[in-house]
A and B are shown apart, each in its own frame.
Chain A
């Protein structure tokens, strides 16, 4: 964000920051589940704007695609699954009052502790001084790409990103096994040979949402391959692409429920993404360097660019397939009524 001058910057940031506790209090006192879903979506969107004001565009992109789109979609689907619309909570019982005062004490302690931090925005704070300065200084010479965020993510801390991709993949696996799609369902709803049919009563919706898919594919590809020279990369591209696909399925009228093939394909695709990352890491170890040392691919700085490019593709594929698969599992569960005991 281009710096104007201290005052306008502070006013803008403070305005958005003051919206956040108001939204949180509204969620606290709200009794309508739809209102909670919408307010959490607005909360994530305001957070994305705040991240942009704090000069963190990568985080802003990821938060807007994931928090505002995917999180809200999963929240609404689970509200539909549990068929809950109105809450019934008593606020002023004894346990609530005790917890309120305990948390007030906790908040006072936190503010007292935060007062010892260095002033907001100082360049000389310890978090900015030692290793961050080294990362920024050494990125053009050691790695050769422009975005130091991508350099840290994929090269300096590449092992952490390997673990994160594994975590995302395992989360997809867990949701796949908890939402058991091999369970027998009512026979008249499931047709073994039929594909799932998503139509809509209004033709324009079908037209626009089908037209939006190739445009968003180009956008996601653009974000993915520009991860090295601008804010972008694997996480952002995967979440943007999966949010567009979720939009495609949300505005559809889904006639049959046979998502089996799609869910299983997405599961295998998430494995593929993680394997791309792992095989690239093992490849660099095999041809003579250390594990995840991209320099060994060609012996010059070009090796870093090639290595980072390939592992970002792996991360993007995994994030996209896991997010879409989780949403489709919820959708499948919503459409099918399994033969089960009634409670």
Chain B
């Protein structure tokens, strides 16, 4: 990581990354502690929508004014779009299937 000499930028980026990590840890704790499959995927969707994008925003700030920053922004957009869609697909399949019990 190239830390520039601007300490406020470092503090802001570190704060964003720490918040992102906090949300990811919350999501994982929820994944372990929630009882049922549907509630578990509801808990893990927090890391997709809030945890990883906050962390990557912190990475964008540290990267400077660069082409790589635009690429990270595109990655954040793709994660926002695709991961909740997949979660919804999995949940909808789980609700609508008519066979035997749940495999966790």
Contact = CB atoms under 8 A, between A and B. Distances in A.
Determine direct contact between A and B, CB below 8 Å: yes
Interface in B86-104: 86, 88-89, 92, 96, 103
A17 interface: no
Contacts of A251: 85-86, 89
A215 B88 CA distance: 22
A34 B89 contact: no
A226 to B, nearest CB: 12
Contacts of A4: 1
Interface string A31-63: 010100000000000000000000000000000
A25 to B, nearest CB: 20
A206 to B, nearest CB: 10
A202 B82 contact: no
Contacts of B78: 212, 215
B103 A32 contact: yes
Nearest to A201: B92
B38 interface: no
Contacts of B103: 32, 34
Interface residues of A, number: 14
Interface string A188-231: 00000000000001101100110110010000000000000000
Contacts of B12: none
Instruction: Determine the main DSSP class of A at the interface with B.
Output: helix
A211 B78 CA distance: 11
B88 A202 contact: yes
Interface residues of B, number: 12
Contacts, number: 27
A34 B102 CA distance: 13
Contacts of B96: 201
Nearest to A207: B85
Nearest to B88: A202
A202 B89 contact: yes
B92 A208 contact: no
A297 B85 CA distance: 49
B43 to A, nearest CB: 18
Contacts of B92: 201-202
Nearest to A211: B81
Contacts of B2: 2
A205 B89 contact: yes
A208 B89 CA distance: 12
Interface string B1-22: 1100000000000000000000
Contacts of B89: 202, 205, 251
A32 B82 CA distance: 27
B30 to A, nearest CB: 19
A208 B77 CA distance: 12
A208 B84 CA distance: 11
B82 A212 contact: yes
Contacts of A211: 81
Interface in B51-104: 78, 81-82, 85-86, 88-89, 92, 96, 103
B63 to A, nearest CB: 12
Given A202-B88, A205-B88, A211-B81, 15 more contacts: A2-B2, A4-B1, A32-B103, A34-B103, A201-B96, A202-B89, A202-B92, A204-B85, A208-B81, A208-B82, A208-B85, A212-B78, A212-B81, A212-B82, A215-B78
Interface of B: 1-2, 78, 81-82, 85-86, 88-89, 92, 96, 103
14 contacts: A2-B2, A4-B1, A201-B92, A202-B88, A202-B89, A205-B88, A205-B89, A208-B81, A208-B82, A208-B85, A212-B78, A212-B81, A212-B82, A251-B89
3 closest cross-chain pairs (CB), A and B: A208-B85, A208-B81, A205-B85
